[in-house]
Amino acid sequence: MSTSTAPATAPAVGTPVPPLFDNCPIEAIMTMIIELMDRLTTHNDNIPLSHANLTRFHSRAVPGISVSDYVRRIVKYASIEKAVVLLVLVYIDRICDLHNTFTISSLTSHRFLISALTAGSKAVSDIYCTNTHFAKVGGITLQELNLLEVEFCTMMHWRLACNHSLLQQYYVNLVRTSPSFYLDEQGGVPAVV
């Protein structure tokens, strides 16, 4: 028996995506983030609500639109860039680090997303929509979006910007945790979802 033979590795499962997020189709990034959001909400919906952990992001009832449809709607009609979509992950980590009772759940995910995508667009995009447009796309009033955005920025300590290398790191980790995608280390053709 040869000790120099490396053990066989299992073939990758899912759809390949390029190693760099810049080359990845936004649809694939959205799908992976939606998968992650679904896992988070499934887990966090089991955490009992108390008055102490209620935030402005909590809805009274679960919205009638899925997270998947909501993200896709905002990205499509507000022309969100893929860096902004990835930035949502950075924001989830930052806000949860700063506020350990905050959770992404069925009651918070939609309002968190519209706030994060609105603020993130302003933080990293050269061109972005007005709050009036974001509110219309997000299905909330302008006044409510303005309040959510201020609350979001305050909770984030106004740390909204992010460098490219950190976004790349989040992308790689996102792909590695995705049940539907894997990194194409060969650098092949980008996935079409």
pLDDT tens-digit series, residues 65-101:
999 999 999 999 999 999 999 999 999 999 999 998 8
Confidence tier at 12 by pLDDT (50, 70, 90): low
Query: Looking at per-residue confidence, does 68 or 55 come out higher?
Result: 68
Q: Does residue 3 belong to any structural domain of this protein?
A: no
Q: Does residue 189 belong to any structural domain of this protein?
A: no
> Which helix (H) or strand (E) segment is 16 a member of?
strand 15-17
Q: Give the per-residue pLDDT at 59.
A: 85
Q: Does residue 13 belong to any structural domain of this protein?
A: no
What value does the mean pLDDT of the chain take? 88
CATH number at residue 139: 1.10.472.10
Q: Is 93 helix (H, G, I), strand (E, B) or coil?
A: helix
Q: Give the per-residue pLDDT at 172.
A: 95
Task: Say how far apart CA 174 and CA 123 lie, in whole Å.
Answer: 21
Instruction: Give start and end residues of each alpha helix (H) in 24-162.
Output: 26-44, 67-77, 82-98, 109-124, 131-138, 142-155
Q: Does residue 123 belong to any structural domain of this protein?
A: yes
The b/e string for 120-154 (b: 16+ C-beta within 10 A; e otherwise) is bbbbbeeebbebebbbbbbebeeeebbebbeebbe
Task: Say how far apart CA 90 and CA 48 lie, in whole Å.
Answer: 25
Q: Does residue 4 belong to any structural domain of this protein?
A: no
Query: Looking at per-residue confidence, does 54 or 139 come out higher?
Result: 139
Q: In the predicted model, what is the mean pLDDT of residues 21-29?
A: 95
Q: Does residue 8 belong to any structural domain of this protein?
A: no
pLDDT over 70 at 150, yes or no: yes
Q: Does residue 82 belong to any structural domain of this protein?
A: yes
Confidence tier at 53 by pLDDT (50, 70, 90): confident
The percentage of residues in the chain with a pLDDT greater than 90, rounded to a whole number, is: 69
Expressed as residue numbers, the domain containing 22 is 18-45+64-178
Q: In the predicted model, what is the mean pLDDT of residues 8-24?
A: 79
Q: Does residue 11 belong to any structural domain of this protein?
A: no
Q: Give the per-residue pLDDT at 11.
A: 52
pLDDT over 60 at 42, yes or no: yes
Confidence tier at 4 by pLDDT (50, 70, 90): very low
Q: Give the per-residue pLDDT at 188.
A: 52
Task: Say how far apart CA 121 and CA 112 lie, in whole Å.
Answer: 14
As for how many domains the chain has, the answer is 1
